[in-house]
Amino acid sequence: MGKELLQEGILVRGQSCGVGLALCRRLLEEDGRIHLCIACRNEQKSEATRDLILATHPAAQVSTVEMDLGNLASVLRAARELRCRFQRLDFIYLNAGIMPNPHVNFKALWHGLLTGRVLHMLTTAEGIMTQTDRLNGDGLQEVFATNLFGHFMLVRQLQSLLCGNEKPSRLIWTSSSNARESAFSLSDYQHAKGQESYSSSKYATDLTSVVLNRKFNDQGLYSSVVCPGLVMSNMTYRILPVFLWKLLMPIMWLIRFFAKTYTLTPYNGAEAHVWLFKQKPEYLDSLVKYHSCTSGLGRCYVEPRKMDVDEDTAEKFYQKLLELEEQTLEKYHDLLD
């Protein structure tokens, strides 16, 4: 396949629905000339997603690549294809994420409603959510592999398209306000032992973004993290049934007057992603997470909040990711150029 030089090559992961699909549409509203490359798990999903985007933006340039983040061979294959197709990528939105077997502790939720930390609990889910994780086909914890490590491998494999270009390239990770230091441990960074694998993987995402800035800003690669807020999507519909969310909707609109991260729709949730698209990366703070917010009256805006990350831990974690990357590349050496 011949190389094509793209003006704005933008790769979006995790866009077949929810925040990712809204993000693709909003990026095209910002600039209809961009070339979007969407990465889906299989051909049917790719085609269906492409059709959904073309239905609202018929003139858009949308290409597809197949990639399953829970399968490292698939990530390496997709990266090889992208290296053949593109000379540079201006943005990668690392948005795919899973929260398998979510469990809400209703007793803790009820107790929390009666305390002064009710808003904190309702916006971060601290103390009220757990998940059950499992090993994937690569022998990695599934949540760590899908939410972080697959993305990390992809970025490393696409380094030649991202670094040393005349214009900076950008990584935008979808993290969460559920990311919490206490859920993460360097000695169990895949979170095999605990029950907060989602929170741990999102904290690991924050650490990774911080350290990537330290390593790659001087080569023109910049990384940011965002939180879309609480959004009704397939992920939340697996936490509580749809009818219950529908019943709770009036309460959530009320909560939104106090908790601005109750963005609720994928469109509102993509606010921070779109805002970052328009910013000069040199002026952004790498220790800040950008939160999509929606006011009680429905106005969307972005709120930067300092992250609770320790740069020394970030560096140590990065070394562990590099070790795991080395083992992966040894295992799949036949998939490298």
Ligand X SMILES: NC(=O)C1=CN([C@@H]2O[C@H](COP(=O)(O)OP(=O)(O)OC[C@H]3O[C@@H](n4cnc5c(N)ncnc54)[C@H](OP(=O)(O)O)[C@@H]3O)[C@@H](O)[C@H]2O)C=CC1
Ligand Y SMILES: CC(C)=CCC[C@@H](C)[C@H]1CC[C@H]2C3=C(CC[C@]12C)[C@@]1(C)CCC(=O)[C@@H](C)[C@@H]1CC3
The catalytic residues are 198
Which 3-state string (H, E, C) describes the chain?
A: CCCECCCCEEEEECCCCHHHHHHHHHHHHHCCCCEEEEEECCHHHHHHHHHHHHHHCCCCEEEEEECCCCCHHHHHHHHHHHHHHECCCCEEEECCCCCCCEEECHHHHHHHHCCCCHHHHHHHCCCCEEECCCECCCCCEHHHHHHHHHHHHHHHHCHHHHCCCCCCEEEEEECCCCCCHHHCCHHHCCCCCCCCHHHHHHHHHHHHHHHHHHHHHHHCEEEEEEECCCECCHHHHCCCCHHHHHHHHHHHHHHCCCCCCCCECHHHHCHHHHHHHCCCHHHCCCCEEEEEEECCCCCEEEEEEECCCCHHHHHHHHHHHHHHHHHHHHHCHHHCC
Instruction: State in angstroms the smallest separation of the CB of 45 from ligand X.
Output: 5
230 binds ligand X (CB under 6 A): yes
Among 9, 11, 12, 18, which residue interacts with ligand X (rule: CB under 6 A)?
18
Q: Which is nearer to ligand X, 121 or 163 (CB)?
A: 121
54 binds ligand Y (CB under 6 A): no
Q: Which is nearer to ligand Y, 165 or 236 (CB)?
A: 236
Q: Which is nearer to ligand Y, 15 or 46 (CB)?
A: 15
Q: Which does 140 bind (CB under 5 to 8 A by kind): ligand Y, ligand X, none?
A: none
Q: Which is nearer to ligand X, 18 or 281 (CB)?
A: 18
252 binds ligand Y (CB under 6 A): yes
Instruction: State in angstroms the smallest separation of the CB of 65 from ligand X.
Output: 11
Binding stretches for ligand Y (CB under 6 A)? 104, 109, 122-125, 128-129, 176-178, 230, 236, 239-240, 248, 251-252
Binding stretches for ligand X (CB under 6 A)? 14-20, 41, 45, 68-70, 95-98, 146, 174, 176, 227-228, 230-231, 233-236
